[in-house]
Amino acid sequence: MQTANQPGTTHEAIAPTGGKTEMDRRDFVKELGAMGLAKWAGIGAMEQAAATPLKQLAANKGLLFGSCLALKYFAQSAAYQRLFLTQCDIATPEVHMKWNSLSSQPGVYDFGNADKFVAFCAANHIKVRGHTLVWHDALPAWVSGQLTAENGQAMMVDHIRKVAGHFAGKLYSWDVVNEVLDPGSHRADGLRDSPWLQNVGVDYIEQAFRATAAADPNALLVWNENYLELSNGFGIAKRRAMLNLLDGLLARGVPVHGIGLEAHLRGDQASVLGDASYEAFLGELERRGMKIFITELDVQDATLPADTGARDQAVAEIYSRFLTASLRQQAVKGVVTWGLSDAFSWIAGYRPRKDALPVRPLPFDANCQPKAAYYAIAATLQSAPHRG
Ligand code: XIL
């Protein structure tokens, strides 16, 4: 056997999905070259990346890497289960811990699927990001129907006690609040005009964090938010609102430990991603003691060319640009993609292509084979500074 990790030599590689021969890899590298993708890494480095799971490249730098997961995907594809186990050391339940997944009748909770998810992760040494306790979306009909200003606080706190209490001690983190900012609500504080704001009041975020800390004192408590990564008017307004609100929360001793940046990116957003203002924002969060996680990363390809090579390259460039800037910041502790394989992505329903071609938003293709996006992610992890 030859020495691993030596540029240009053959070595025994464990391809992410297993089973790739040296010949396959050479063909793949040639193919990438023809598509203009070899730039994501020199051939030697790329072979090393192909041989090395993303969780390992991340761990080398003191970072976590993972994905969201819905258990039904494993029932559909054993290859996907293998891929997941190879690549991830942290996972987010895509649906199983949302309120409408846990409860379809007033006060009655069924933790069956969420418990299965947690047990699967525990058996495989995968950390779990609890997702999510307080959100305007994914509410069961009974909650939307019953919620009033009289019972709002009790309903929210009771839900947190039940759910965070049920999983206490088993989760790495909780997304305590989700998507609570919305410049479109035209409020001076930037808050979304959500059912929780309306029925609990402006201090619902504070109450939610305090209730979660009481129910599960060990979980890292995260404020998960979308579009902060965009350096345009919308994103900049959200950043400003978050920093103002965070200053108030922290001054009052509210236990906010981390910020989640969803990062559902678009293929045509290169010009508003990863610039100096974004890095300065991450620095502001760090200054406030926040751990930062990229929590739902994917790249919508609806506006990109039909040609697979050109499309994959544009998607890879977005991953590269965004992650390069993000990982330069020491406060960023982990990267979680919203799926691993194009076979199982919410983008197929949320942002389908007009030409009806299958979407390609994730690092692995529908057959769980690595794409240019995979190599772009691998390269950014390899060039990321080590966390202190
Ligand atoms: C999405 C899931 O991927 C879908 O399967 C589900 O139908 C809707 O929710 N922001 C979030 C995630 O915080 O929970 C959402 O997940 C995507 C947007």
* 374 alpha-carbon distance from chain centroid: 15
- For every residue of 192-233, DSSP letters joined together read ---HHHHHH-TTHHHHHHHHHHHH-TTSEEEEEESSTT--SH
User: Angle at the Cα of 175 (from 173 to 178), degrees rounded to 5?
Assistant: 170
Tell me, using a 6 A CB cutoff, whether residue 101 lines ligand 1. Answer: no
* Cβ atoms of residues 339 and 298 within 8 Å: yes
pLDDT one-digit tens code per residue, 41-53: 444 455 544 558 9
Tell me, using a 6 A CB cutoff, whether residue 94 lines ligand 1. Answer: yes
Determine how many CB atoms are found less than 10 A away from the CB of residue 218: 11
Q: Give the Å distance between the CA of 265 and the centre of ligand 1.
A: 14
- Of 339, 340, 343, 361, nearest to 77 by C-alpha is 343
- Of 329, 308, 328, 282, nearest to 373 by C-alpha is 308
The tokens describing 322, both together, are 């965004």
Phi/psi class of residue 274: alpha, beta or left (left: φ > 0; alpha: ψ in -120 to 50)? left
Determine how many CB atoms are found less than 10 A away from the CB of residue 142: 16
Tell me, using a 6 A CB cutoff, whether residue 207 lines ligand 1. Answer: no
Percent of the chain with pLDDT over 70: 87
The tokens describing 40, both together, are 């994501």
Q: Tell me which of 175, 299, 338, 362 to substitute to probe ligand 1's pocket, judged by most ligand atoms within 8 Å of the beta carbon.
A: 338
Tell me, using a 6 A CB cutoff, whether residue 69 lines ligand 1. Answer: no
- For every residue of 255-324, DSSP letters joined together read ---EEEE--EEETT-GGGSS-HHHHHHHHHHHHTT-EEEEEEEEEE-TTS-SSHHHHHHHHHHHHHHHHH
The tokens describing 338, both together, are 């919203």
Q: Output the tens digit of pLDDT for each of the chain's 388 residues.
A: 333 333 332 222 223 333 344 444 444 444 444 444 455 444 445 554 455 899 999 999 999 999 999 999 999 999 999 999 999 999 999 999 999 999 999 999 999 999 999 999 999 999 999 999 999 999 999 999 999 999 999 999 999 999 999 999 999 999 999 999 999 999 999 999 999 999 999 999 999 999 999 999 999 999 999 999 999 999 999 999 999 999 999 999 999 999 999 999 999 999 999 999 999 999 999 999 999 999 999 999 999 999 999 999 999 999 999 999 999 999 999 999 999 999 999 999 999 999 999 999 999 999 999 999 999 999 999 999 999 7
Please give the backbone phi and psi of residue 169, each rounded to the nearest 5 degrees, phi first. Answer: 85, -10
* Cα radius of gyration rounded to whole Å, the chain: 21
Q: Tell me which of 137, 299, 344, 345 to substitute to probe ligand 1's pocket, judged by most ligand atoms within 8 Å of the beta carbon.
A: 137
**Alpha helix stretches (DSSP H) within 9-102:** 22-34, 43-51, 54-59, 72-76, 78-87, 99-102
The tokens describing 126, both together, are 């995968």
Under DSSP, the state recorded for 76 is H
* 187 alpha-carbon distance from chain centroid: 28
Please give the backbone phi and psi of residue 105, each rounded to the nearest 5 degrees, phi first. Answer: -130, 150
Q: How far is the CA of 73 from the CAs of 77, 79, 97, 208, in angstroms?
A: 6, 10, 16, 31
